[in-house]
Structure 1
Amino acid sequence: MKIKTLCAVLGASLLWPALSQAEIVQRQVVTAIAGEQDSEGADVLTVAANTACGGRQVRMDARSVGLDDGPYEAMKARLAKQIRSKTPMLVTLKKCPDDASVPIVRQIAACTPAACADGRARLYLHERFFPIEQEKAPNVLVLPLPKGKLPGTWKVEIYSVAGHKLRLSGQVNHADYAQGELVGGYVTYYPNGKTEKQVAQDGQGRQHGIGSKYFPDGTLELRGDWRHGLPEGEHQRYHATGKLSETSIYRDGKQLDGPVQTFDENGKLSSSYTLRGGKMEGEMLTYFPDGKISSRAEMQNGKFNGVSTNYYPDGAVQARMTQVNDLPTGEAMEFYADGKVKSRQQYGDKGGLLSIQRYSPQGVLVLERKWDAQLREQGTSRSWYENGKPEQAIDYVNDRRDGWSRSWHEDGSLKGECQYVAGKAQGGCGEAPPAPELQRKEQAWRAL
């Protein structure tokens, strides 16, 4: 189904429902129901005007309209009366068949004035413009499609169900929208009516020419040239403030190697790096708004390889770690603004955390934990109050409490203790929860 191509062009990232869920809704006057069912046991209805799929016949059975046999026969008896009185009906088709077979009815009901304002068929569409059931659809397309400006195309104008705002205008290369591809260029719109995207295309539906994307307030977000589906030349990305974020240069669909700079929403230099073979290579720098360096890192083949350092605005080191192929290794350290150590973390060869020690601003050790190569907590995990007195100590073996768990008041007096064996408390002491301070420091560690 070509509808997948349509949404890929629009940049959607969606799980695709079967197109059998599509619905085409049209007002029709049923003129006859065949006296005998067809070879598949379905009733064949004749309608007064061509359906959106072409032809003047539709077919249905109890299963297609979701009824048991008894209610289905009662519905057919009511339908016979409406045929005699020429009552307009709202007929919902599952979809237009891929072949020349007769379309299948999903629902049929007498018209209401609100639902039957005209006799046009309607295809109901998802936010990203593929067909879905009417009750879930924010958008609608009136059928049949008129001829487009280009030979062999049909004009598409999709509107929101609520507010009747234009959401997409363009043309497809098939009279059946769900079977077609957008060709020759299209425009999409935000619900507020402002332009979202302007996409130029060639006759095969590939992006070709200048393409633009806008923020909801109309400010330009992206603009660049395309050649038969590949980016070419200069492409710019902007912040919502209107300031340039980044410029990229393409040739034959590939970004050219060389220095790259990005800018913040105020137009200040944000980062700089070098592309080699389409990947970051060498030193990558980020900057504070005043132009001072915020961080520096060594890149190799597009990954962090080497020492990465973060700085405070005054130039003091805030954190430092070594990475190999994006994974931390060895000792990583954090520092307070005055240069005192805030934390030490030890990592294994595969990026797993092996130990952590955290310190108060006064240099007092307040947390200590250890893990083995399988990331199981081992040994005694300890926390201290900032006055240096013990807060909690918990013995672990293979990630389970095994040994003593003790906690203390800030004055040093014992608050409680319990002995564990293989994770189970012994005696009547029960499971003592980690002290709030230990939990807080653990959360702080997990945020690193």
Structure 2
Amino acid sequence: MRNRFLFFFFFFVCGITMVNAQQFNLFDAEGKRHGKWQKKYPNSDQLRYEGTFDHGKEIGEFKFYKPSSGKSPTAIKVFSKNTDTVNVKYFTEKGKVISEGNMIGKERVGVWTYYHNGSTKIMMTEEYSLGKLHGEQKTYFENGQLTEKTTYQEGKKEGKRFMYSDKGTVIKEFTYENDQLHGITKYYDAQGKVKIEGNYKRDRKDGIWKYYENGKLKEQKRFPVSKRGS
């Protein structure tokens, strides 16, 4: 009787195991992935990813792992059934969010947010359009104060770029055109007074540059500097 019981118990356990195994990595009638899927790294029990397919299309939450990450995902992507936009989060191996934003295919779109190491405090935000920086890029000190603001158009710096002290005072001001310094540039002291000002033309200093001390003009230089004897 005992042996018979053990036989049925073993058969029951094996049956459950087979049913559970059959819940993953299935295909529909057209050969498309359908239902819950799990993939592991070659010659390893470490998961590579896990998620759900709906007739070949990713749907809902997918978790991705690195070989050394154990049970903690290093990326989570959330797919929608009705749109191509995917919400993405990247994590440290300790589970802290590194960055998050949206993607279409392999290209970033919209606002992406990055965090200081091991913290929930924002380190930087960027705006993307079809994989290229487009809009404002802002960087922050850990105290939340803005440290830098740059404007981009289709992946290139365009317009003003400001740099700030940890107290919020502008310390540098640049002007860009087509990713090159082009236009007025200013440097400020801790009180917000101009120390140096001048123009760039296609990444080169151009014209009269002025240098101040305690708010008073001390020196002027003309650029480009002419060579003697030329």
Give the TM-score band, short-chain normalised. Answer: 0.5 to 0.7
- Residue 212 of structure 1 and its aligned partner are, at CA, apart by 5.5
Please state if 1:318 is matched with 2:147.
yes
Structure 1 distance, partners of 2:180, 2:71, is 42
1:327 aligned to which of 125, 145, 156: 156
For the residues of structure 2 that align with 1:382 and 1:282, how far apart are their CA atoms?
Answer: 40
Are the counterparts in 1 of residues 63 and 73 from structure 2 also a CA contact under 8 Å? no
Q: Is the contact made by 1:212 and 1:224 (CA closer than 8 Å) also made in structure 2?
A: no
2:194 corresponds in structure 1 to 365
Change (3 A) 1:292 1:360: same
Q: Which structure dedicates a bigger proportion of its chain to strand?
A: 2
Distance change (3 Å), C-alpha of 1:213 and 1:300: farther
Corresponding residue of 1:381: 209
Deviations 1:84-135 (A, max 9, x none): xxxxxxxxxxxxxxxxxxxxxxxxxxxxxxxxxxxxxxxxxxxxxxxxxxxx
Deviation at 1:308, TM superposition (A): 1.7
Question: What are the residue-to-residue correspondences of 1:331-410 with 2, within 5 Å?
Answer: 331-348=160-177, 350-354=178-182, 355-372=184-201, 374-385=202-213, 387-388=214-215, 393-396=220-223, 400-401=224-225
Q: In the alignment, does 2:99 pair up with 1:271?
A: yes
Q: CA deviation at 1:334?
A: 1.2
CA distance in 2, matches of 1:249, 1:379: 53
Structure 2 regions of 5+ residues with no counterpart? 1-38, 50-57
Question: For 1:265 and 1:383, how far apart are their aligned partners in 2?
Answer: 50
Q: Indicate the SS of the match to 2:65.
A: strand
Which of 101, 112, 115 does residue 284 from structure 1 map onto?
Answer: 112
Judging changes above 3 Å, is the alpha-carbon distance between structure 1 residues 303 and 366 closer, same or farther for their aligned structure 2 residues? same
Q: Any idea what the Cα deviations from partners look like across 1:216-236, whole Å, max 9, x if unmatched?
A: xxxx9x9637xxxxxx98542
Q: Give the Cα separation in 2 of the matches to 1:425 and 1:353.
A: 29
One-letter code aligned to 1:281: V
Counterpart of 1:224 in structure 2: which amino acid?
R
Q: Whole-Å Cα distance in 2 between the matches of residues 270 and 237 of structure 1?
A: 15
In structure 1, how many angstroms separate the alpha carbons of the residues matched to 2:160 and 2:173? 7
TM-score, normalised relative to structure 1: 0.34
Q: Give yes or no for the alignment of 1:424 onto 2:228.
A: yes
Give TM-score scaled by structure 2 length: 0.62
Alignment of 1:75-154 (within 5 A): none
Aligned partner of residue 204 in structure 2, secondary structure: coil
How many percent identity over aligned positions?
A: 19
Cross-structure match for 2:135? 306
Distance change >3 Å, CA 376–CA 293, structure 1 → 2: closer
* In structure 2, C-alpha distance between the alignment counterparts of 1:241 and 1:223, rounded to whole Å: 8
Are the counterparts in 2 of residues 333 and 344 from structure 1 also a CA contact under 8 Å?
yes
Q: Distance in 2 between matches of 1:327 and 1:244?
A: 33
Which structure's CA Rg is the greater one? 1
Answer yes or no: is 1:261 the counterpart of 2:89: yes
* CA distance in structure 2 between the partners assigned to 1:395 and 1:301 by the alignment: 42
- The corresponding residue for 2:29 is none
C-alpha root-mean-square deviation of aligned residues, in Å? 3.6
Cα contact 2:181–2:200 (8 A) shared by 1: yes
Residues 379 and 287 (structure 1), Cα distance of their counterparts in 2 relative to 1, 3 Å cut: same
Determine if contact 2:63/2:75 at 8 Å carries over to the other structure: no
Measure how far apart 1:423 and its partner are.
1.9
Q: 1:279 to 1:362 in 2, by over 3 A?
A: same
Report the CA distance between 1:267 and its aligned residue: 2.6
CA distance in 1, matches of 2:173, 2:43: 45
Is contact 2:199–2:205 with CA below 8 Å preserved after alignment?
yes
CA distance in 1 between counterparts of 2:210 and 2:43 reads 54
Structure 1 segments unaligned to the other structure (5+ residues): 1-208, 215-219, 226-231, 251-255, 402-421, 427-448
Letter in 2 for 1:423: K
CA gap of 1:360–1:265, structure 2 versus 1, over 3 A, is farther
Q: 1:244 to 1:234 in 2, by over 3 A?
A: closer
